[in-house]
Structure 1
C-alpha cells in the first residue's frame, strides 16, 4: 500500500504561490486569512487531484447515461431468458486464453461481438457512444481532469463464478500477469503505469507518469480481472487448453478441442440486476462451432447448425439465399446500418522485406488493382472502394483539405506528404476500362524505371542488384486466392512476379503472428474513438514485436507523432484534427493497397433468434449486436 501525508497537484501549488505573493500580504492585517486560504487549498488538493467518484466516464465530454439510469437504450429490458444461440467460426482454436499471445482462443469468451461472457472488466463500454465506460466490477471511478491517475472502488458483491469475492489482490495479480505474459497491447498500456496504490478499502489507484495519453485511464478500465486464487502463472503463460474461471454471466461447460465450446449461464451471476446488464445475457447457453472453411460454414448455416452468419460474399448474398429454410421464412436476410467508420481492408505490404522497403515502389504497385473490374465481375457492384482508414466518418481525411490545426501538427513532416493527400483530393486509382488500365501499366513501368527497375527478359529487375521485383502473397481462403489472382493478372503484364501460397488456418495465423509474409489481405476496424490500438498497429516501436498488429512494419516519425497527438487531444476538435492528420500519414505511407468495403452489414439470421425492434429507442453504433438478442423458439 502506498501512503502520503498530503498530495498536492501542481495547479494547487501554483495557485498558493500566487496568493502568497499578492498585494494582500503587504497589507499585513490580512496575512492570517490569506494563509488560512492557502492551507485550505492545500488540504483540499489531495481530494481534487484524484477526482470525484462517478458512475461512468467518457473519452471526450460527459457520458450519455446519468447515475440513476435504469437500462441502456438499445436493449429490451423485457427480453425473455432461455434457449441457446450458436455462432459459427472458421478455422480452429488451440487455447482457452484470449489474453496472451501464444495460441488462438475461441470466440465468445472475451469478445466485443459475441460478448464478455466468461471474463469481465472493471468498467463496461456501451455500444451507442463513441467511448464511454460505466461501472461493472468497479462500483465507481475517480478520474482527475489531468488524467494522471484513475481510481476504482470495487463492488462488495462482485464475485467469480466459484463464489470467491473479487478483491484488489485479483486486480493487482491480473496486472502482473498481463505485464509478463499478456498480448502486446496490454503490455504497452501497463508499461505506462508508474505505481499502483490502495488508497482505501476495496480501492485501487493506477498512477501514470503524466496525463499526455488521455485514453490510457479508460483503457485501464477495460482490463479484465482474473482470479488470483485459481490461476497458476506458469501454466497460463504456455499455449494449451489451460482452463480458468472468470466473473462473467457464463461458465465453460463443454470443450471439444479445436472445434466447439459450450458456455452455460451461471444462475448465481452476481451482476444480472445491474442497470448496465439489464436486457443482456439472455441465452441459457452459448455455443461456438468451428468449420474448415467458408463453404463448410455456409452449408452448416443452411442446415441450422448455427444461428447467425455475418455475410461477406456479395455473390452469395445476392444469389444463394434460396435454400429451403430461407424460402419458408425460417432464415431472414437482415441489413444493419453501422454508424462507425468503415475502416480499411487491403493488401498489406510488409515493409520489413527488401522488396517493399521503397515507398515509391509500393505507391506504384497500389495503382494496379483493377477495382472496377473486380467489383463488377466478382461482387455484383455491391462494394465501395476504400480510401481512408476512417472511411465514411468525420475522422476521414479524404475529401477534406487539411485545416490549420492539422497543418500545425504535420508541419515538421509536411514536405514529405503528397499534395493530393494534403488537399483532400487523393483517391485510390481505379481504371474505368481496359484502355485506362493499359495507361496505368505504362505509367507503372515508367515509375519503376525511376526507382532503378528495368524489364529484362520480361521480368521487372533492379538494374544494380539484379534482383527481380518478386514477392509472395499469403492466402488462407479461396476468396483471398481469387482476389490475389485478379491482381496478379495485371502484375504479370508488367513483369512483376507474384506467387500465391494458400495455407491452412493454423499456418496462416502463425505466419501472420511472426510477420513471416510479403503480402497478405488484412482488415483494420475503426471506431469514432481511435486510440492506443493505433499505437500497437502503426507505431515504430511495435515494428519488431511479434503479434497481431504492426503487420506493415510502419516506421515513420510522422505516424508516431500523429498517434501521440490523438492520444493527447483534450477536445473533440483537437481530436478530429489529430485523427485526420494521422489518416493522411498512413495514406501517404502506402502501407496498404486499399480494397473495398460494404456500406451496411449483411447478416443471415434464423428467426428463432429475437432482435430488438421498435420497442427500443436506441441502436448500437456498431450495427448488429448479438449480446442483446434472445431466444424466440422454433
Structure 2
C-alpha cells in the first residue's frame, strides 16, 4: 500500500480542478453516432482505453499472486444471497463470487469494459443494447456461462430480487437470444443509462436455483463465475473466500494485476470497537480510520512501532455522499420542513466534531460536496436554474437562492440557533407546555424515536454514533424535545429500516461520480413506499424526480453536471438529513506485507480497490 502525503486545501483544490478539467474534456467528445460492436461502453464520448489494451492503468500488472487478507465487519449475517431483500446477507458474496457482463473503470466516471461479454453494441439513442458472451466464460464448477444464464438472471433479479433491481427491469420491453452467444435487450422508455445498468447486473447460474424460491434467504453457497469461491462459512461469524486457480478470466488484460490474494477472510465482530482491538492484536489486517484525532494520536501500539503495521492515506475525487441523522418524512413529526430545519439548527456540529474528532475534518455541506458535481455557493444560475424554474413555486426556501448549514458554536449549546429553532417549531404548531414538553395543538409530545445499529456502520463505530446522538439529545432538551433512543442488533436494524419503522436513524449513502438511475432508489418518489429502498427519508418530490430523469438522459457532461447540481440543491435544501463531518482522504492502517498500486484513481478507496488490487509480499 502506498503512502500519500496530502496537504489540506491545496491538494483538494488541485484534485477538484483536475476532476473538472477531466469532465470538460469528456464533454467535448461527441456521442457515438452509429452502432458497432465494441470492447467498452461510455456514457459520454469514447472509452479512454483502446481495443487491445494490456491492463487497466491503475493496477500493478506484475503483482505477485498468493497470501491472505483478513478483514473485519461489524454485526453478523444469516444469508449468502445479497441479491434478495430477505435476510441479513454477507455482502461480500456479491463482490467476490458473482460477475457482471462488464467491469467499471476506477479511472473513468462513466465507462465500463467487457468482462463476461466479448463485445457490447448499442444505438445512438440507447434504445437497445446487445451483448456477445465470451466463449471461454465459465462458472467455478467448470460449466459455461450461457445466454440462458444471463437472461434468467436479469429476469429473476428484476422480478424476485432486491427492489434495487426492479426499476431498471421495469423499463425493459424485451430480452432475447441473438445467435449462439448473443442477447439483445430492448428498452420501453428513454433512459441513456440503461445499457450500462444491465451490463453491471450480476450473472448467476440458472441451474443452481431451478425449482427453488429465489426470493428466500439462504445459506446455500452460490456458484458464480468470479475469481473467488466460498471456502468456509461460519454463519454470523466468518466467511472465507479462496482464489479459484482455474478462474476463467485470469488471463484477460482487463483482470491483469487484479485478484492477487489467495484467501480473503471476513470476521464479524459485535461492534467496531471490538474490530479495532482485533486489528491491534493482529487478528485482522486492515483498519479504516475515520477519526482524524485517533489517526494522529492512537497509532503507537506495538504492531506499528515494530513496523508490522503501516499507515497510508489515499486521496480521492469522489463526492462526500451523505452521512448523519436522517429524518423520516413519513412520520408526522417531520412532514414540515420548518421542523426539520429546527432539528438541524439544534445539532451543533461544530462542538460535536471538535469534542469527538478534533474538528479537523470538514462538514458535509451537500450530498455531492468535494466534487465537481456539487451545487455551487449562492443562487442557481444558467442551465441549473433553468431546470429548477418550472418547479420554483413549490421549492423550499434556500433551493434557488442557496442553502447553507448553520455555523454552530464552540459551546455545547448554540443558544442563537436554539432560539431560531424554537421560533420555527412555533410556526409549525409546536409549543412548550407548563411541563416543559414540546407538544402540538392536540397535546401530543414531540418525542421522536431514534433507531441505531449498536454494531455501528461502514463509516462510524456504534460507540461514536451513540456519543454523537447523546450530545444531540441533550441539546434538544431546552426545546422540550425528549427523543427515545433505541439500540438494535444488526438484524433488527435491517428489518426496521427496510420497513422505514423509525422517526430518525443514522444514515450513510456513498455517491459516485456517475450518478444515474440509482438516485431514484435513494430519493425518488416511487421508492418512498418500496420496502428495502434506500429512500429512508421518504422523499416524494416531482422536482427531485425530474432532476434524476434529466441526469439520466443528459446528452452531454455539461447537462449531466447541471442536473446533478440541481438535484443536490433540492436534497440539501429539503433538509432531510443532519450531516456530520467526513474525511477528505481515506486513512487505512494495514499489515506491512500488504501493498496496493501507486496510481491515484478518481475513486480512491472504493469498491473495486480493496482487496481487488492489493497483493501480499513479505516486508
User: What is the alpha-carbon distance in structure 2 between the residues aligned to residue 301 and residue 460 of structure 1?
Assistant: 45
Equivalent position SS for 2:154 = helix
Counterpart in 1 of 2:151? 172
Matched, 1:565 2:543: no
Contact between 2:39 and 2:51, CA under 8 Å: does it hold in 1? yes
Query: Unpaired runs of 5+ in structure 2?
Result: 1-31, 454-461
* Kept in 2: contact 1:231–1:244 (CA 8 A): no
Distance in 2, matches of 1:460 and 1:567, equals: 46
Tell me the residue number matched to 2:343.
365
Pick one of 125, 129, 139 that aligns with 1:160.
139
Q: 1:109 to 1:400 in 2, by over 3 A?
A: farther
Aligned partner of 1:8 in structure 2 is none
* Partner in structure 2 of residue 12 of structure 1: none
> For structure 1, which segment, 102-111 or 50-59, has the greater mean C-alpha deviation from structure 2 after superposition?
102-111
Query: What residue is the counterpart of 1:45 in the other structure?
Result: none
Whole-angstrom distance in 2 between the partners of 1:463 and 1:63? 57
Q: Distance in 2 between matches of 1:435 and 1:335?
A: 32
Q: Distance in 1 between matches of 2:581 and 2:235?
A: 35
Contact 1:566/1:579 (<8 A) preserved: yes
Q: What does residue 318 of structure 2 align with? A: 340
Distance in structure 2 (CA, Å) of the matches to 1:532 and 1:459: 46
Distance 1:537 1:460 in 2: 34
Establish whether residue 59 from structure 1 lines up as the match of residue 43 from structure 2.
Answer: yes
Spell out, residue by residue over 1:88-141, the C-alpha distance to the aligned partner (whole angstroms, 9 max, x if none). 111101100111111122242223xxxxx2110001111111021011000000
The CA deviation at 1:278 is 0.1
DSSP 3-state at the match of 2:241: strand
For residue 100 of structure 2, what is the aligned residue in structure 1?
A: 121
Is 2:420 the counterpart of 1:443?
Answer: yes
- Post-superposition offset of 1:180: 2.5
SS of residue in 2 equivalent to 1:97: coil
User: Shift of the alpha carbon at 1:435?
Assistant: 10
Instruction: Confirm whether residue 413 of structure 1 aligns to residue 391 of structure 2.
Output: yes
State the match for 1:622 in structure 2.
Answer: 604
Structure 2 match to 1:244: 222
* Structure 1 portions without partners, runs of 5+: 1-47, 112-116
Partner of 1:100: 84
CA displacement at 1:400 relative to structure 2:
5.2
Contact 2:396–2:574 at 8 Å: present in 1 too? no
Q: Does 1:553 align with 2:532?
A: no
- 2:297 maps to 319
**Is 1:273 equivalent to 2:251 in the alignment?**
yes
Change in CA separation of 1:435 and 1:491 when aligned onto 2, cut-off 3 Å: closer
How far is 1:319 from its partner? 2.5
1:110 partner SS: helix
Q: Which moved more, 1:271-280 or 1:377-386?
A: 377-386
Q: Secondary structure at the match of 1:512?
A: helix
2: CA distance, partners of 1:249 / 1:472: 44
Aligned counterpart, 1:21: none
1:375 aligns with 2:353: yes
Q: Which residue of the partner structure matches residue 13 of structure 1?
A: none
8 A contact 1:512–1:548 mirrored in 2? no
Structure 1 position 520, deviation (Å)? 0.8
Aligned partners of 1:121 and 1:137 also within 8 Å: yes
Aligned to 1:331: 309
Question: Deviation per CA, 1:7-38, whole angstroms, max 9, x where unpaired?
Answer: xxxxxxxxxxxxxxxxxxxxxxxxxxxxxxxx
Structure 2: distance between partners of 1:153 and 1:283 = 30
Kindly indicate whether the alpha-carbon contact (under 8 Å) linking 1:344 and 1:391 is maintained by their aligned counterparts in 2. no
Map 1:147-226 → 2, pairs under 5 A: 147-210=126-189, 212-226=190-204
Contact 1:481 1:500 survives alignment (8 Å):
no
Q: In the TM superposition, what whole-angstrom CA distance separates every residue of 1:55-110 from its partner, at most 9, and x where no partner exists?
A: 00111221111111100111111100011111111110110011111112224222
Task: Give the aligned partner of residue 23 of structure 2.
Answer: none
Give the 4+ runs in structure 1 shifted more than 6 A.
Answer: none
SS of alignment partner, residue 574 of structure 1: helix
**Are 2:51 and 1:72 equivalent residues in the alignment?**
no
Superposed, 1:293-312 pairs within 5 Å as: 293-312=271-290
Deviation at 1:299, TM superposition (A): 0.9
Give 1:618 shift. 5.1
Aligned equivalent of 1:488: 473
Aligned to 1:452: 429
User: For 2:253, what is the secondary structure of its paired residue?
Assistant: coil
Tell me the secondary structure at the aligned position of residue 546 of structure 1: coil
Q: 1:226 to 1:435 in 2, by over 3 A?
A: closer
**Offset of residue 201 of structure 1:** 2.1
CA spacing shift, 1:446–1:618, aligned 2, 3 Å: closer
TM-score after normalising by structure 2: 0.90
Distance (Å, rounded) in 1 between the aligned partners of 2:523 and 2:75: 27
The 3-state SS of whatever aligns with 1:470 is coil
Secondary structure at the aligned position of 1:411 is classed as helix
1:473 and 1:419, CA in 2 relative to 1: closer, same or farther beyond 3 A? closer
Give deviations 1:370-402, integer Å, cap 9, x for gaps.
Answer: 111111111112221111110111111141531
RMSD: 1.8
CA distance in 2, matches of 1:398, 1:369: 23
Q: CA deviation at 1:317?
A: 2.1
User: In structure 2, how many angstroms separate the alpha carbons of the residues matched to 1:306 and 1:436?
Assistant: 40
Once the two structures are TM-superposed, the CA of residue 494 in structure 1 deviates from its matched residue by 1.2
- The correspondence of residues 391-540 of structure 1 with structure 2, limited to 5 A, is 391-399=369-377, 401-418=379-396, 420-424=398-402, 426-434=403-411, 437-476=414-453, 477-540=462-525
Q: Structure 1 residues 202 and 50 mapped into 2: Cα distance closer, same or farther (>3 Å)? A: farther
Report Cα offsets for 1:476-525 as digits up to 9, x if no partner: 22221111111111110111111211122221121111111110111111
Asked which structure has the greater CA Rg, the reply is 1
